[in-house]
Amino acid sequence: MKVRFQKNKATKNVITFVRDNQTITWTKADDFLVLHDLSHYTIEKTLNYTTAFYGMINSGATIKDFEDKVIRDKMNLTNEAWYAETLANLILIEHTQTTFENLNETFREALNQTNPNIPFMAISVTDIEKIRALYSQLIKNWKLLPENQSMELDF
């Protein structure tokens, strides 16, 4: 799947997903959503997740499915999807505030609050470092991207 982040200043940014079968879903996005979706990308790519947000999009879910609370609440989310969503929020917090002293412990606590029924799976120190490094690089690339230009990622 190709994911294209188009930077716009006069209007909202646009995130376009071109699935492996060449169908497309897209959304307008403020800067926060871009950062959130980049954190999802970083986590899911690094951890080889196939059934979390990007995998769901590639399998046919549309952006509107995630925007509609009724549809979203009916989604049967995999453990990967729960892990990715929880981690995406934590990685975004780290970017905007401060690095967690123990990301796995914070991850465990956050996951327990959002869905205590799924087993916790710690992330290796190596993978945490890869996630942080890739996310930092993607944010840097996004900030340096000229207006009306796109950044395209392979998932």
In-domain check, residue 81: yes
pLDDT at 150 over 90: yes
In-domain check, residue 137: yes
pLDDT band for position 137 (50/70/90)?
very high
In-domain check, residue 10: no
Residues 55-77: pLDDT tens digits? 999 999 999 888 888 887 888 89
pLDDT band for position 104 (50/70/90)?
very high
Residues 33-62: pLDDT tens digits? 999 999 999 999 999 999 999 999 999 999
How far apart (Å, rounded) are the C-alpha atoms in residues 72 and 30? Answer: 20
Mean pLDDT within 105-126: 95
pLDDT band for position 95 (50/70/90)?
very high
In-domain check, residue 116: yes
In-domain check, residue 12: no
**pTM score > 0.85 for this model?**
yes
Domain count of the fold of the chain: 1
In-domain check, residue 155: no
In-domain check, residue 6: no
Average pLDDT of every residue of the chain: 95
Phi, psi at residue 154, to the nearest 5°? -95, 135
How far apart (Å, rounded) are the C-alpha atoms in residues 71 and 75? Answer: 7
How far apart (Å, rounded) are the C-alpha atoms in residues 81 and 40? Answer: 10
CA dist 65 → 3, 55, 141 (Å): 17, 14, 28
In-domain check, residue 65: yes
pLDDT at 9 over 90: no
* CB of 114 closer than 8 Å to CB of 86: yes
User: Which pLDDT score is estimated for 72?
Assistant: 78
Q: Domain residues for 132?
A: 31-146
Mean pLDDT within 87-105: 95
Mean pLDDT within 88-110: 95
